[in-house]
Amino acid sequence: MPKVLAVLGVGPGLGLSIARRFGGEGFTTALVSRTDARHADYRASLAGINALTYTADVTDEAQLRDVLVRITADAGQIDTVYFGPADATAGPGITPLTEAAAGTLRASFDSLVLPAARLVGTVLPVMLERGSGSLLFAGGLSGKYPMPMLGSLAPASAALRMYVLTLHAALREKGVHAGLLTIGGLVERGDIHRVFTAQDHGFPVGTLDPDDIADRAWSLYTERDAEAEFTAMAAV
């Protein structure tokens, strides 16, 4: 029976490229997004891959649990989860760190770190019982290097990074893998790329090819490494 990849927070950029990369290796891919407006296009672009689509807000705990149950019923036990719904266009947005009150920082944690923790709490017990599985997350380069232009997002990004890296260390002897894609730049074809290129944000950001990142995501999965870093920034 084919292994199952759940792509939670799929978009036309990285999420779709990861589905294509893993699907090319024989995985059944389950794509989850907030609306079904682009689902037909996603399935068409994954010709030759068994691609299922679902509608859910994966930052909502009840909807997350429900969609994972549906995926398991339709395709079988989930081997790998890619979680990438959080972005700079969602949640509280960016506030300069020198102006960010405690509530603003908490809102960033609520939108970045808590959904990841809820996912882990939902899928990890089954993976541990089975003794296999992989948890892949997308994070930002501001979680590793000081980047003042990302302001209030940076502390939450750092917390997400350390959460995943600590999970990796805690799980590596238990057959379950946790890994992080640390991304510094705009991922081409993605929604964030579209938003940023349509507006003047006052600082230059380079672009990254989502297919290249997806190739590294596959290597992260097969080699069971903790982190892969990508940067198109001039300096960090």
Q: Is residue 122 part of a domain?
A: yes
Q: Is residue 211 part of a domain?
A: yes
Q: Is residue 56 part of a domain?
A: yes
pLDDT value of residue 87: 45
Q: Across residues 21-46, what is the average pLDDT?
A: 95
CB neighbour burial string for 125-164, b if at least 16 within 10 angstroms, e if fewer: eebeeeeebbbbbbbbbbbbbebebbbbbbbbbbbbbebb
Strand pairing report for 207-208 and 186-187 = parallel
C-alpha to C-alpha distance for 164 and 167, rounded to whole angstroms: 5
Question: pTM of the full predicted structure?
Answer: 0.89
Is pLDDT above 80 for 234? no
C-alpha to C-alpha distance for 138 and 174, rounded to whole angstroms: 22
Least confident residue range of 18-32, 87-101, 211-225: 87-101
Q: Across residues 130-145, what is the average pLDDT?
A: 94
Q: Is residue 173 part of a domain?
A: yes
Q: Is residue 236 part of a domain?
A: no
Q: Is residue 201 part of a domain?
A: yes
Least confident residue range of 14-18, 73-77, 144-148, 157-161: 144-148
Tally of structural domains, the chain = 1
Domain range for 102: 4-231
pLDDT value of residue 7: 97
Is pLDDT above 70 for 76? yes
Query: Tens digits of per-residue pLDDT, 82-128?
Result: 998 644 445 567 888 888 889 988 988 988 899 999 999 999 999 99
CATH of the domain at 206: 3.40.50.720
Q: Is residue 111 part of a domain?
A: yes
> Which residue blocks in the chain are alpha helix, DSSP H?
14-23, 39-45, 61-75, 102-130, 153-171, 191-198, 210-223
Residue 79's nearest CA partner among 139, 23, 4, 18 is: 4
Q: How confident is the model at residue 187 (pLDDT cuts 50, 70, 90)?
A: confident
Q: Is residue 101 part of a domain?
A: yes
